[in-house]
Amino acid sequence: MSLLEAIVLGLVQGLTEFLPISSTAHLRIAPELFGWPDPGAAYSAIIQLGTVAAVLIYFRKDIVALVKAFVVGLVKRDPFGTLEARLAWFVGVGTLPIGICGLAFKKLIETQFRSLYVIAGSLIVLAIVLFVVEKRASHQRTLADMTWKDGILIGLWQALALVPGSSRSGTTLTGGLSLGLKREDAARYSFLLSIPATTLAGIFELKHLLEATQRPSTVALVVGTLVAFLSGMAAIAWLLSFLKRRTTLVFVVYRIALGVLLLGLLQANILKPMSGVENLATPEAPTKPPVEKQITD
């Protein structure tokens, strides 16, 4: 992997991770358009650590408050006594579905699910779902109104992001809106919910990446992660500001347009649906089977 590839992929990851347009889709499409090999699910998961760092720094006050409330609640034997304590529990419970499904379907996620046909279909279908939810949602509830049921349901929505093209931020944002949350509150909770899943995925993949006989250079990994961090910080600030004033319609239009364009390029044989995936040098030790899972977008 060249330095230019690392910079471009890091920029794509950072800008698209938090927007409801699917970072995984763009990380599959960009190399294909430039004629580069698919970097693989493991590389995508590693540079996601850059966007995780962006969330940790941007929401550091919220995170400290949640962790403190969680610990204090346990000490006082009143674990759900405050809003922050409840949100901490909701994030934990909401992370379980994507973790369980990620382990259960890891082989599909790293191979067949990375087909550009699957990505195109996911882009279009989830765009339509987001459009319907956006139009029918009340946009009245706040994080203070969330219940256990809400936390579990949004967690199930997040699990859909294991299918490339769905978008982790897109599915969780859609889930939050479907429950009546305000757009900015749904986005804020989506960011907080992303921290455990993407952090664990990145650490999980890092272990196997280090064991691999063939992998991107350390420089490529560091540069890609750093660029993802910087562009991710900008994307978070922009999206929160945008959703206070606008609807998600622009993302719906973008997803459908990209999905249709992708299908057109595939039908014209300009792009290959599984190019670089069948023999993808998925970072793995030669004596161990693939064990990676993709959490995104």
Kindly state the percentage of the chain with pLDDT values over 90.
58
Give the pLDDT confidence score for residue 276 in this predicted structure: 56
In DSSP notation, 100-152 reads HHHHHTHHHHHTGGG-HHHHHHHHHHHHHHHHHHHHH----B-GGG--HHHHH
Question: Can you read off the two tokens belonging to residue 172?
Answer: 């969780």
Mean pLDDT of 11-36: 88
Distances (CA, A) of 173 to 55, 182, 200, 290: 16, 10, 21, 31
Top-ranked range on mean pLDDT: pick from 25-29, 173-177, 211-215: 173-177
- What is the tens place of the pLDDT at every residue in 98-119? 999 988 888 887 777 778 899 9
| pLDDT score, position 273 | 84
Return d(Cα 199, Cα 113) in angstroms, integer: 22
Mean pLDDT, the chain, rounded, equals 86
* From 29-38, 135-144, 201-210, 276-285, the region with the lowest mean pLDDT: 276-285
Least confident of 13-22, 118-127, 286-295: 286-295
Region 82-93: mean pLDDT is: 95
pLDDT score, position 108: 81
Tokens for 115, please give them: 């087909």
Instruction: Look up the pTM and report it.
Output: 0.83
For the stretch 204-248, pLDDT in tens is 777 767 666 666 778 888 999 999 999 999 999 999 999 999 999
| Residue range 64-74, pLDDT digits in tens | 999 999 999 99
Whether residue 169 is predicted with pLDDT greater than 60 in this model: the reply is yes
Asked if pLDDT for residue 10 goes beyond 90, the answer is yes
pLDDT in tens, 248-294: 999 999 999 999 999 998 999 888 887 655 444 444 444 444 444 44
Q: Which residues contact 251 (CB under 8 A, 6 or more apart)?
A: 19, 20, 21, 127, 130, 170
In residues, how long is the chain? 297
Query: To which H or E segment does residue 267 belong?
Result: helix 249-267
